Structure 1
């Protein structure tokens, strides 16, 4: 079984290149049976919800329908069309969604915005919702709307009942570093209050977690292994 992981980058100049290091770390620690995609979001210097949200939907839809490598020695990375190692192709049974920084916020916004049509297969396809199981939603160092004055502005918002609007079958995990100088650590706990079912993790290494996502990979593998054992 192959598990596809969609890694959504943060915003700002050079964000995709910086977050590609995180995606590479995640793929390396996940190892065989996983492929990590990190699509390049348009206009990363000046992110726009109206442009990014459809792109996120397309990325999720591709992960829900594509075929990927099996039995490779290490997790693959697909960044802007660079295919990962491995030649034997198998259908993915589960997908995992990971968002870093602004990408984490917009991932939650996309999933909550599409909640109401998630139970209808034809509408799922029309709105880029995957037909396969979303096994986990991992949000890393994401800013919480209104979490502090620096992150309070028009249009930056999430629904109050956020936790109830996320995929019921998906584990939700929240990661943040106490030494993050860009998004205050307290934002993680604001997300935890908004998503009661979420599991929280305290990390280190600043906003980029020292480019080491071993803890995220361990959580993902645990979730997928548990699903495979059913």
Structure 2
């Protein structure tokens, strides 16, 4: 049976079809047949609302089996982290992989909908491995954001990738390698 991967898109007009679909294609190619990537269209992608995306993620979490992998890009990664911390889903996830996510809180970006990221580590489900990726040449979200996440989630593994942009040049081989290294557990 294939292992489930939930990929949460970033925000912006056309992101689902024109941008993050390339990330999904790269991930599917790198992971191979033993994985199935679910890529739902998030509501209002051009003007994301945390409550609406959190509700959509709650539904998605309910459809996932134990051991499923969660991947989020950009604001989708930010919302994924916070929704996971707040919702305490019943499924036991195999890992959380966050790409180029803006940090909300001191030193990061403000938000009216999302609480400060300070106490994330203690609010995430125990035992979930967390990987944080950021392109060193990201012109959308400063690289400093991944280091703010690293402080908020000290057990996270951080990978800053040289000569990679906000989309990691549409190449998720490092993300796939980390997912594959976890095995089927």
Same fold? TM cut 0.5: yes
Shift of 1:130: 4.2
1:176-219 deviations in whole A, cap 9, x for unaligned? 01100000001000000000110001124210011110000000
Report what 1:56 is aligned to: 57
3-state SS, counterpart of residue 63 of structure 2: helix
Shift of 1:62: 1.6
- Aligned Cα RMSD in Å? 1.6
Report what 1:109 is aligned to: 82
What is the rounded CA distance, in whole Å, between the counterparts of 2:99 and 2:175 in structure 1? 9
**Contact 1:63/1:130 (8 A) holds in 2:** no
TM alignment of 1:67-86, pairs within 5 A: none
Report what 1:96 is aligned to: 69
Report what 1:207 is aligned to: 166
Q: Are residue 195 (structure 1) and residue 147 (structure 2) matched?
A: no
Shift of 1:105: 0.4
Report what 2:36 is aligned to: 35
TM-score, normalising length: structure 1: 0.75
Report what 2:9 is aligned to: 9
CA, structure 1 residues 108+177, in 2 after alignment: closer, same or farther (shift >3 Å)? Answer: same
Give the gaps of 5 or more residues in structure 2: none
TM alignment of 1:123-202, pairs within 5 A: 129-131=89-91, 133-146=92-105, 148=107, 151-202=109-160
1:84-121 deviations in whole A, cap 9, x for unaligned? xxxxxxxxx52000000000000111011123xxxxxx
TM-score, normalising length: structure 2: 0.92
What is the rounded CA distance, in whole Å, between the counterparts of 1:153 and 1:171 in structure 2? 26
What is the rounded CA distance, in whole Å, between the counterparts of 2:118 and 2:144 in structure 1? 18
Which residue, out of 168, 181, 185, partners 1:222?
181
- The number of residues matched between the two structures is 183
What is the rounded CA distance, in whole Å, between the counterparts of 1:29 and 1:46 in structure 2? 31
**Contact 2:103/2:117 (8 A) holds in 1:** no
What is the rounded CA distance, in whole Å, between the counterparts of 1:182 and 1:172 in structure 2? 22
Q: Which has the higher strand share?
A: 1
Q: Which has the larger radius of gyration?
A: 1
What is the rounded CA distance, in whole Å, between the counterparts of 1:219 and 1:200 in structure 2? 11
3-state SS, counterpart of residue 145 of structure 1: coil
3-state SS, counterpart of residue 113 of structure 2: coil
3-state SS, counterpart of residue 206 of structure 1: coil
What is the rounded CA distance, in whole Å, between the counterparts of 1:39 and 1:198 in structure 2? 26
